[in-house]
Amino acid sequence: MIQLKRSRRLKKELRLLDVFAIAAGTTLSAGFFLLPGLAARLAGPAIVIAYLIAAIPLIPAMFSIIELATAMPRAGGVYYFLDRTLGPLFGTISGLGTWLALILKVAFALIGMGAYIQLFIPEISIVPVAVALAVALGILNIFGSKKSGDLQVFLVSGLLIILFFFIAGGIPEIHSDHFDNFLDAGFDNILATAGLVYISYVGVTKVASLSEEIIDPEKNLPRGILLALGIAILIYVLGTAIMVGVLPIEELKASLTPVAQTADILFGKVGVVFLSTAAILAFISVANAGTLSASRYPLAMSRDHIMPSIFRKLGRFGTPTVSLIFTISSIVIILLFLNPLGIAKLASAFQLLMFALVCFAVIVMRESRIESYDPGYYSPFYPWMQIVGIISPLYLIVEMGWLPLSFSLGLILICILWYFYYVRSRVGRTGAIYHIFARLGKQRYEGLDSELRGILKEKGLRAGDPFNEIVMRSIVIDLNLEMNFEDAVEIAAKNLSTIIPQSANQITKQILEGTRVGATPVTNDVALPHFKVKELDHPEMVLMRAKNGIKIKLYDPLTHQEEGIQTVHAIFFLVSPERNPTQHLRMLAQIAGRVDEDNFKIDWHSAKDEHQLKEVLLHNDNFISIFISTELKSKLLVGKLIKDLKLPEECLIAALLREGHIIVPKGNTLLMQNDRITIIGEPKSINELKNIYGE
């Protein structure tokens, strides 16, 4: 049988604004304030095109990451996606490699910040300042993602305001003659530069590693990432055009502070101060967001036994303290050994490789046809988008030269050795790619499907899922006799046969066969038999309460051998149309989530009638039950026709209880003294009604 387990998860504290700020903050930093000078040495004035080209291979990866993150909102981002799609070997490579690429980017940002601080304090040493800031940000992150997110919003807001004035004041001052001989560097150098500055954009997707901590990730993650990338591309293209158009090209090539030098020409010393402040805000922003994201990789890998268990421990504030300390320590070490150009090239090369694999992962998940793979956002232009996303990064890596390529291959080799030395003996799972093999008659890993179903349970229903309506129109059977599961199924099947296009015998056979192969979840004294019917138009449900218990045989899902008997006191039979399997799973997950709540058993056993039994299955924030009486706030409803009631939007009167009998509410139904109506709807609308009629 499928067992539904609880596990400790990170707190959901990040809003849409936090997602945007983290995504934008990890994007608008060194790539804008430091890299243009380094990039101009290779591409000259064509750096404007290089920045535009660099965004192209990111777009397929971005859409792919959004799809995977809305299907699997878990800490670890790219690591988690590749581990669950391609297996733990690729998970090891992507986890360790992406973590390293991300902390390289953080180190790059801290070095860039030091260069701008030297404009004000020339005698200061960059490395000690960078190390001190790294430690300070690590301490802040220990106190929780919410505090880190609040800082991020503040930093990015200040940054965008200053950059707006920089671009608005710079465009009129561009000298067109600075773009003469625009393509003299050659196409190969322009592509190599695009590979170099690609690191400028990769941060936009790093917020996916925090998807476990995002409130409503199916909406907030895509919106935050898309908005951040659009603004980043606009700022990079316009900003580099201003730098090229204002600074002589030789000055730009020699500069580690190109924005400040441009601001000096445009606005004088005041401009230098403001743009240097913006640069410092940007570098702190990317270091903060990068530290927050990077620290989730050791945590996620530790959960999967790819790294030692100590990294999965959460501290007093619900943050991965050990993982944070390890990440900060690694950043400090890196600051002592690599120069900015080397860091940028090395981090970009490996990140390009990971993004190619992420695009491949979407193809694997789609073609695996796992029903529980249920993203809230689907990448457009599949599979062509993903094919471009696989080919273009690999081409850019080759164009970047032998050193980044050698680094990537060396890092992969180290990860493979770690996998065979430490990981392989500790993990027994495989990836979704084996579900493709299953279609070819080979191997399949059921654990992934089970894990994805657990994620569905945490994500909850999607807008448009008619769960509440199905519960309120469901058939209720209240049994007082003890019986076995087979007899209970026959009773339910007779009732279901009146509302779905199948006979009672067909229904009984499907349910019992599904139970024998382990497809009926049993948890907390509740069984959830379910199946799908091709000819059905919408889901239907039967709720069964057995006060004296129903004995159900448990079967091993792998061997199909009987392994015990359990007594249940509730059975929920769910039937859905075949055309929408993921909605079917979301509804099962919703029931399982309600059953897991501490008050479910008490509420279920104490319900007085079928009306209350239905209400037990609904969450309190999705319905309100109003008793109509002249002595209560509901007195205004006495004598009213249902069609004349002014209810908040997205609310529906689902049931009416009168003198112990349930009446189907219609528009011309007159509400009377002692009636009880159940209204279902969105939490916001239900709260409005509770404020009006609650006693």
pLDDT in tens, 142-156: 776 555 567 777 878
**Where does residue 130 rank: exposed (0-12), middle (13-18), buried (19+ CB within 10 A)?**
buried
Pairing state between β 526-527 and 522-523: antiparallel
Q: Which of 570, 585, 618 delimits the end of a domain?
A: 618
What's the pLDDT band for 494 if we cut at 50, 70, 90? very high
Does residue 327 sit in the same domain as residue 405? Answer: yes
Task: Provide the number of structural domains found in the chain.
Answer: 3
Tell me the whole-structure pTM to 2 decimals: 0.65
Angle at 564 between CA 518 and CA 546, to 5 degrees: 80
Does residue 443 lie within any of the structural domains? no
Q: Do 572 and 526 contact (CB within 8 A), yes or no?
A: yes
Mean pLDDT to the nearest integer, 601-629:
83
Task: Give the least confident one: 254-258, 384-388, 425-429.
Answer: 425-429
Does residue 22 lie within any of the structural domains? yes
Q: Over the chain, what is the mean pLDDT?
A: 80
Does residue 588 sit in the same domain as residue 613? Answer: yes
Instruction: Provide the pLDDT for residue 556.
Output: 64
Q: Which of 618, 649, 671 delimits the end of a domain?
A: 618
Task: Give the least confident one: 106-120, 379-393, 446-460.
Answer: 446-460
Task: Give the least confident one: 495-499, 569-573, 616-620.
Answer: 616-620
Mean pLDDT to the nearest integer, 245-256:
84
User: In the chain, what percentage of residues exceed pLDDT 70?
Assistant: 87
Does residue 486 sit in the same domain as residue 344? Answer: no
Q: Residue-wise over 600-616: b if at least 16 C-beta within 10 A, else e? A: bbeebeebeebbbbbbb
Does residue 435 lie within any of the structural domains? no
Does residue 216 sit in the same domain as residue 326? Answer: yes
Does residue 501 sit in the same domain as residue 517? Answer: yes
Which residue from 628, 630, 631 is spatially nearest to 642, judged by alpha carbons?
Answer: 628
Residue 396 predicted with pLDDT over 60:
yes
Task: Give the least confident one: 300-314, 354-368, 572-586.
Answer: 300-314
Mean pLDDT to the nearest integer, 56-60:
84
Residue 75 predicted with pLDDT over 70:
no
Does residue 682 sit in the same domain as residue 557? Answer: no
Instruction: Provide the pLDDT for residue 545.
Output: 93
- Domain of 529 in residue numbering reads as 461-618
The torsion angles phi and psi of 253, rounded to 5 degrees, stand at -65, -30
Mean pLDDT to the nearest integer, 38-66:
87
Does residue 486 sit in the same domain as residue 626? Answer: no
Query: Which residue would you say has higher pLDDT here, 31 or 640?
Result: 640
Identify the top-confidence range among 84-93, 466-475, 585-594, 614-623: 466-475
* Dist. CA 294–CA 303, nearest whole Å: 15
Does residue 193 lie within any of the structural domains? yes
**Where does residue 238 rank: exposed (0-12), middle (13-18), buried (19+ CB within 10 A)?**
middle
pLDDT tens for each residue of 192-209: 888 778 767 777 776 776
Instruction: Provide the pLDDT for residue 438.
Output: 44
Q: Which of 583, 618, 653 delimits the end of a domain?
A: 618
The H or E element containing residue 666 is none
Q: List 532's β-bridge partners, or say none.
A: 576
The H or E element containing residue 377 is none
Does residue 273 sit in the same domain as residue 421? Answer: yes
What's the pLDDT band for 30 if we cut at 50, 70, 90? low
Query: Which residue would you say has higher pLDDT here, 212 or 538?
Result: 538
Does residue 84 lie within any of the structural domains? yes
Task: Give the least confident one: 385-389, 566-570, 644-648.
Answer: 644-648
* Dist. CA 129–CA 134, nearest whole Å: 9
Does residue 7 lie within any of the structural domains? no
Does residue 625 sit in the same domain as residue 600? Answer: no
* Residue 590 CA: distances (Å) to CA of 6, 44, 461, 593: 15, 57, 7, 5
Mean pLDDT to the nearest integer, 440-459:
53
Instruction: Provide the pLDDT for residue 449.
Output: 53
What's the pLDDT band for 242 if we cut at 50, 70, 90? very high
Residue 45 has which token pair? 């004035």
Residue 440 predicted with pLDDT over 70:
no
Instruction: Provide the pLDDT for residue 441.
Output: 40
Identify the top-confidence range among 100-104, 134-138, 280-284, 487-491: 487-491
What's the pLDDT band for 10 if we cut at 50, 70, 90? low
Does residue 173 lie within any of the structural domains? yes
Residue 583 predicted with pLDDT over 90:
no
128 CB neighbour count, 10 Å cutoff: 11
Which residue from 78, 93, 81, 64 is spatially nearest to 448, judged by alpha carbons?
Answer: 81
Mean pLDDT to the nearest integer, 246-269:
85
Does residue 448 lie within any of the structural domains? no
User: In the chain, what percentage of residues exceed pLDDT 90?
Assistant: 6
Residue 374 maps to which CATH number? 1.20.1740.10
Identify the top-confidence range among 17-26, 159-168, 388-397: 159-168
Does residue 130 sit in the same domain as residue 175? Answer: yes
Instruction: Provide the pLDDT for residue 269.
Output: 85
Q: At what angle do helices 269-294 and 88-117 cross, to 10 degrees?
A: 160
Does residue 566 sit in the same domain as residue 640? Answer: no
Residue 689 maps to which CATH number? 3.30.70.1450
Mean pLDDT to the nearest integer, 550-568:
76
In sequence order, which residues have a C-beta less than 8 Å from that of residue 389 and are 6 or more positions away? 57, 59, 60, 61, 64, 355, 356, 358, 359
Residue 542 maps to which CATH number? 3.40.930.10
What's the pLDDT band for 257 if we cut at 50, 70, 90? confident
In sequence order, which residues have a C-beta less than 8 Å from that of residue 568 and are 6 or more positions away? 522, 525, 526, 527, 546, 549, 550, 552
Query: Which residue would you say has higher pLDDT here, 211 or 467?
Result: 467
Residue 347 predicted with pLDDT over 70:
no
Residue 435 predicted with pLDDT over 60:
no
What's the pLDDT band for 445 if we cut at 50, 70, 90? very low
What's the pLDDT band for 185 if we cut at 50, 70, 90? confident
pLDDT tens for each residue of 653-686: 887 888 777 777 888 888 888 888 888 877 788 8
Does residue 595 sit in the same domain as residue 638? Answer: no
Task: Give the least confident one: 125-139, 224-238, 385-399, 552-566.
Answer: 552-566
Instruction: Provide the pLDDT for residue 456.
Output: 59
